[in-house]
């Protein structure tokens, strides 16, 4: 069992996400997309989740994201474990999206398949 998502730093969460997805690449087969997360607040940082050829890599942000999600660290944690829905977060201003909104919707479905709540 895990220590709970609140015990992870942002960097540790991103590393854990990369590890979990690469252990089970099935749900990302055929996806070629770069998601960027601009996290605001206490641990402000930007990371990219690069999905290509059935593998994921997490890197510090650079150019070329298809979809950028901007949210606070607290809201990011809730989003990852499914306690904050993307649509509700967007409609209430907790989440801002730049780029392809369709890809943002697909991301939420992908995260659900990995059941991160059980692994973070």
Q: Which secondary structure element, helix H or strand E, spans residue 55, and what is its range?
A: strand 55-60
Distances (CA, A) of 9 to 59, 64, 73, 105: 15, 25, 10, 25
Structure tokens that stand for 102 in this block: 């369709």
Residue 18 has pLDDT above 80, yes or no: yes
Beta bridge partners of residue 102, listed in sequence order? none
β-partners of residue 38 are 46, 70
What value does the mean pLDDT take over residues 20-49? 94
User: Residues 94-100: what's their mean pLDDT?
Assistant: 96
Confidence check: pLDDT of 3 > 70: no
* pLDDT in the model for residue 2: 44
Cα separation, 86 vs 63, whole angstroms: 23
Nearest to 51 by CA among 112, 106, 116: 106
């Amino acid at each position: 069992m895990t220590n709970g998502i609140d015990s992870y730093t942002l960097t540790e969460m991103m590393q854990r996400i990369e590890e979990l997805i690469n252990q089970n690449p099935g749900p990302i087969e055929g996806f070629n997309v770069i998601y960027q997360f601009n996290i605001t607040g206490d641990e402000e940082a930007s990371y990219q989740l690069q999905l290509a050829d059935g593998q994921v890599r997490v890197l510090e942000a650079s150019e070329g994201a298809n979809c950028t999600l901007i949210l606070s660290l607290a809201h990011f944690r809730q989003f990852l474990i499914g306690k904050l829905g993307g649509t509700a977060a967007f409609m209430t201003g907790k989440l801002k999206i730049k780029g392809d909104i369709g890809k943002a919707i697909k991301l939420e479905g992908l995260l659900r398949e990995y059941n991160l709540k059980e692994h973070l």
